[in-house]
Structure 1
Amino acid sequence: MLKDLAAKYYQQGYNCAETIIRAGNEYYNLRLDENAFRITGAFGGGLQVGDVCGALTGSACVISAKYIETKAHDCPDLKPLMLKLVRAFQTRFSSRLCAQIKAKFHNKEVRCLNTVTLAAEVMEQVIAEYEQDKQSK
């Protein structure tokens, strides 16, 4: 499961965004390289300032890598897919902001492990529903 891969990478010391993109890369076989992973580093910790959660921005990166073939403007499903992701994330965490999520889900023993595994579940569900809807059309 995606959440197990997320736990594995988080426990290796990657931040929330790095964890989600690495787990997504492995789970969805995105074929990303180390350069792509490094790009997400500054997204951790809510862009390093407690803003938008790194697990959410990492999830957006996975969706981009999975579905955008050339550029975002040529991917008509990107906006509705991201809307589903953001809404599902907001519902699960009651926020999109790292500082607010951290206040509820972070603890000293596991740090943000709970956040990345729950975010992985949210992303996996959103992608699965999207793929199912796409097949039924």
Structure 2
Amino acid sequence: MLEDKISALLEQKFHCSQIMMMVGMEALELEEPNLVKAMSGLAGGLGGCGHNCGALTGGVCMLSLFAGRGTPEEEADPDLAVMVSELLAWFEERYGSPDCGDIIQGDRDNIPRTCPQLICDCARKALEILNSYGFPTAGME
């Protein structure tokens, strides 16, 4: 179950943005620790600054992992921008702001109460978007 997987990753001290990418990588049956490491700076609203939520930016990266361009020979999926827009619109409607600081009301003590469910919801929505555009996600829902 997705919630159990995310809870286990939180217990291992992974951040929101890393978890989002790890969910996407598992759906693709990939293991790439350097990619997980690269996601670290997005946590806490871009390095703990309270800007764009790491689950949201991680979700955008997850969508891009499936639909983006990775080699000179590849083309990005033409629907990638629409997929990102759908995730952002859903996120802003649900949480009122794309910013971590707003979501946790400027209080890092709210993170344990707010973020685990937010990460689950965001991961589920990103997977739903991927599925709706024909990207298989290996039963990660």
TM superposition score category, shorter chain reference: 0.7 to 0.9
Aligned residues: 131
Aligned partner of residue 134 in structure 2, secondary structure: helix
How far has the Cα of 1:95 moved from its partner?
1.2
In structure 1, the residue matched to 2:90 is 88
**TM-score, normalised relative to structure 1:** 0.80
2:128 is equivalent to residue 121 of structure 1: no
Say if 2:45 is the partner of 1:46. yes
**Residue of structure 1 in register with 2:139 after alignment:** none
Residues 32-111 of structure 1: matches in 2 within 5 Å? 32-48=31-47, 49-70=49-70, 74-103=76-105, 107=110, 109-110=112-113
Distance 2:115 2:33 in 1: 23
Name stretches of at least 5 consecutive residues in structure 2 with no aligned partner. 136-141
Contact 1:9 1:22 in 2 (8 A): no
After superposition, what is the alpha-carbon deviation per residue over 1:4-44, rounded to whole angstroms, capped at 9, x for unaligned? 32222122111110111112211x12514111111100000
Question: Greater helix percent: which structure?
Answer: 1
Instruction: Show CA shifts across 1:62-106 (max 9, x none).
Output: 1111112436974311111111111111122111100111229x7
Partner of 1:22: 22
Moved over 6 A (4+): none
Partners of 1:74 and 1:129 in 2: CA distance:
17
Q: For residues 24 and 33 of structure 1, what CA distance do their matches in structure 2 show?
A: 11
Is the contact between residue 60 and residue 84 of structure 2 (CA under 8 Å) also seen in structure 1? yes
Aligned to 1:2: 2
- What is the TM-score with the length of structure 2 in the denominator? 0.78
Provide the identity percentage.
Answer: 25
Quote the RMSD (CA, aligned, Å).
2.6
Change (3 A) 1:70 1:25: closer
CA contact (8 A) 2:69 2:75 kept: no
Distance in 1 (alpha carbons) for counterparts of 2:87 and 2:114: 23
Which residue identity is paired with 2:87?
Answer: L
For the 8 Å contact 2:67–2:76, the answer to whether it is kept is no
Distance 1:119 1:99 in 2: 17
Secondary structure of the equivalent of 2:70?
A: coil
